[in-house]
Structure 1
Amino acid sequence: MINTLILYSTVHGQTLKICNAMAEQLRQCGEQVTMAAIDEAPALSEFDKVLIGASIRHGKHRANVYDFIREHQALLDSKITGFFSVSLVARKPAKNTPETNPYMQAFLEKSGWKPQLMAVFGGNLDYQGYGAMDRNIIRFIMWITKGPTDRHTCVEFTDWQKVNRFAQQFAAA
């Protein structure tokens, strides 16, 4: 049985929600799946495959994602790996692939890591779930990028069929 580790870095929970959906699919494919926050990762040596999901916060992946990859890159390079990024920018068709998403491209350049499989998914926009400062920053970013700015907006931009396809690709790897 293939032993798979899914690690996540999430702020508002959408990345964790996506990881849970992928974990269920991988289990249905016969894999043994362990999930953990990236800061609580078990020993990578115990796993055949590692999948990392990370959200964007104010235009960047969190520092703990880069720290983890830097610390474990040799082990990651010896395994089947995948990485996906979750952001509101990925709601746009011109920015929803690893090749066209500026956050994914910045991640690849900064991390120096090249996972075998990569994906980009749209996130969740829930103004009422944010604190005042985050709500105002995100509304401003949405205004600049021509997204929804009504403070009562709650919309999930995640393409769940795309998530399922990526999980199937990762299972087949």
Structure 2
Amino acid sequence: MEKVLLLHSSCDGQTIKILRYIEQQLGGNYHCETQDIHQSPGIDFTRYDRVLIGASVRYGHLNKKLYQFVEQHQQALEKHKAAFFCVNLTARKPGKDTPETSVYMQKFLQTSPWQPKLLAVFAGALRYPRYSWFDRTMIQLIMRMTGGETDTTKEVEYTDWGKVSAFSQAFKQL
């Protein structure tokens, strides 16, 4: 049985939800452990066969702690069957939902010393009622500028679960 480390840098939980879905897709031949990058300073990578990192974008940026984590653990990540995915609301639009067309993924690849072999970009979820007043107002403004949902009473999940399933299968094949 392979051991898989599922790491996340999540703002509102959609990245964690995607990781849990991937864990289900991997099935019984994989033992998965999930950890928050922000809470995991020391990881013994030798305990794992595969590593998957999922990170969300907030206000146009991946968390700085993600970059610090990757820099600190670059050599370990390069020795493993490791993959990375990014979650953002811009990916709800066709043409902005692949590693090649996502500005956030391209920025990650330019900034990060680690260049994962397998990459994906997934659309996230819009959860207005759960946001603080400030976040709700700012996200509503961004959505208005980008032609997205602006009704602050709504929650909309844009994640394409079929695309996540396909990524899960590709991760198994690493």
Short-chain TM bin:
over 0.9
TM-score by length of 2: 0.95
Asked if the contact 1:55–1:87 (Cα under 8 Å) also holds between the matched residues in 2, the reply is yes
User: C-alpha separation between the residues in 1 aligned to 2:59 and 2:38?
Assistant: 20
1:6 maps onto 2:17 in alignment: no
Counterpart in the other structure of 1:25 = 25
Q: CA deviation at 1:105?
A: 0.4
Gaps of 5+ in 1: none
Amino acid at match of 2:33: T
Q: CA deviation at 1:148?
A: 0.9
Counterpart in the other structure of 1:60 = 61
User: C-alpha separation between the residues in 1 aligned to 2:158 and 2:73?
Assistant: 31
Asked if the contact 1:27–1:33 (Cα under 8 Å) also holds between the matched residues in 2, the reply is no
User: C-alpha separation between the residues in 2 aligned to 1:35 and 1:148?
Assistant: 31
- Per-residue CA deviation, residues 25-48 of structure 1 (Å, 9 max, x unaligned), is 2234x1121111113443112111
Q: How large is the Cα RMSD of the aligned pairs? A: 1.0
**How many residue pairs were aligned?**
172
What SS is found at the alignment partner of 2:95? helix
User: C-alpha separation between the residues in 1 aligned to 2:118 and 2:46?
Assistant: 20
Q: CA deviation at 1:107?
A: 0.8
- Per-residue CA deviation, residues 83-132 of structure 1 (Å, 9 max, x unaligned), is 00000001011100000000010111111221111000000001111001
How do 1:67-146 and structure 2 match up within 5 A?
A: 67-146=68-147
User: C-alpha separation between the residues in 1 aligned to 2:66 and 2:27?
Assistant: 25
Amino acid at match of 2:4: T
Moved over 3 A (4+): none
Identity %, equivalent residues: 43
Asked if the contact 1:88–1:123 (Cα under 8 Å) also holds between the matched residues in 2, the reply is yes
- Mean Cα deviation higher: 34-43 or 67-76: 34-43
